Amino acid sequence: MKKIIISLLILFAYAMGSASAQEPDTLDFRHEMNEIEDEADSVMMLVRPIDTVDTEDKYIKIVLFNDHTWDYIELERPDIDTTGLFEDWDIESIHAYRDVKVSDLPESIDLLLVDSAHRFVAPFTGRRSSTFKYRKGRPHNGVDLPLRVGDTIRSPFDGVVRYVGGGKSTGGYGNLIVIRHPNGLETYYGHLSERLVMENDLVSAGEPIGLGGSTGRSTGPHLHFETRYMGKPFDPERVIDFDNGTLRDTMLTLKRHYFNVGSHYGMSDKQSKSVTSAVYYKVKKGDTLGKIAKQHHTTVNAICKLNGITPKKVLRIGQRLRVR
């Protein structure tokens, strides 16, 4: 804009000089040029941005100036490798890869989490009120982080929003967001009070995606956070140290036996494999330890040893017992 104004003023000065048929000497010409540039600078100082307007693309804004002009400005977009990113892409269903079984997954796979071009930001930092485990006989497939309603939840990595939902359609999740990341991971954010993104939105690491809440099956404000690969959940603490809000490592090695709610961060491979191969039974009305042992071709003593109980233990309907 400044160059345009200077050019116009120079043309105006040249036209005026031609009309008077005078040849300015070099000193006079330089003096006039300085005056023209000073005037252009003054004009530029008066032109300033006064507002921005969103467009359909959140990475492109319209800047409005006080001289009734406008211009586009493009913000930096996440550099996302979309190769394979949209396989089994489903914006209508909470869980993707429904036809994939754990047995279909490789024995081990290495996933790069961050590098020089891609960073990590903790979705929310704090103590965990519940971890990846069985809870009241049901699998709890993530970690719960207590918070205040309205606390900001952020995307930990660059990615694309695959699912946004709420109400009865998400069941116990309440207001839910699911983000798929370029390495194949998906992260889940449940019980939100507000969702700040939409399906198919690009998101950058650290970008606010929602506000903490207590929607769905929740006993108080907290973030329910899950990590999944090919639709199968694994312990999020294998990825993030929530106490410090840091990554465990830049590379995540996922092993097939991790995809079991009994397999936790900190276990040895031997312990994890043992839990993965375990067989469990949910106690029903009329069950006794003897009846359960006979039904599973084992002994009462073996069941007691596996569960840390005595033969005199009173069973509770819905209780989960390991039988093998």
Alpha helices in the chain (DSSP H): 2-19, 26-46, 269-276, 289-295, 300-307
CA angle 55, 57, 62 (to 5 degrees): 35
Chain centre distance of CA 208: 9
Residues in the chain: 324
- Per residue of the chain (324 residues), give pLDDT as tens: 444 444 444 444 444 554 444 455 555 656 665 665 565 555 556 888 989 999 988 889 999 998 889 999 988 888 888 889 999 999 999 999 999 999 999 999 999 999 998 999 999 998 999 999 988 767 899 999 999 999 999 999 999 999 999 999 998 999 999 999 999 999 999 999 999 999 999 999 999 999 999 999 999 999 999 999 999 999 999 999 999 999 999 999 999 999 999 899 999 999 998 887 778 888 999 899 989 988 888 888 888 888 889 988 889 898 888 887
Structural domains of the chain, ranges and CATH numbers in brackets: 2-74 (no CATH), 102-271 (2.70.70.10), 280-322 (3.10.350.10)
Q: How many separate helices (H) and strands (E) can be counted in the chain?
A: 5, 21
- Please state, in angstroms and rounded to a whole number, the distance separating the CA atoms of residues 16 and 49: 33
Contacts of 230 by beta carbon, 8 Å cutoff, 6+ apart? 97, 100, 104, 105, 184
Tell me if 310 sits within 8 A of 295, measured CB to CB.
Answer: no
Tokens standing for residue 219? 């006993």
DSSP states of 95-109: ---TT--GGGS-SEE
**pTM: predicted TM-score of the whole model, two decimal places:** 0.74
Task: Residue 218: name the closest of 126, 121, 142, 319 by CA.
Answer: 142
Q: What is the dihedral of CA 200, 206, 209, 214, to 10 degrees?
A: 140
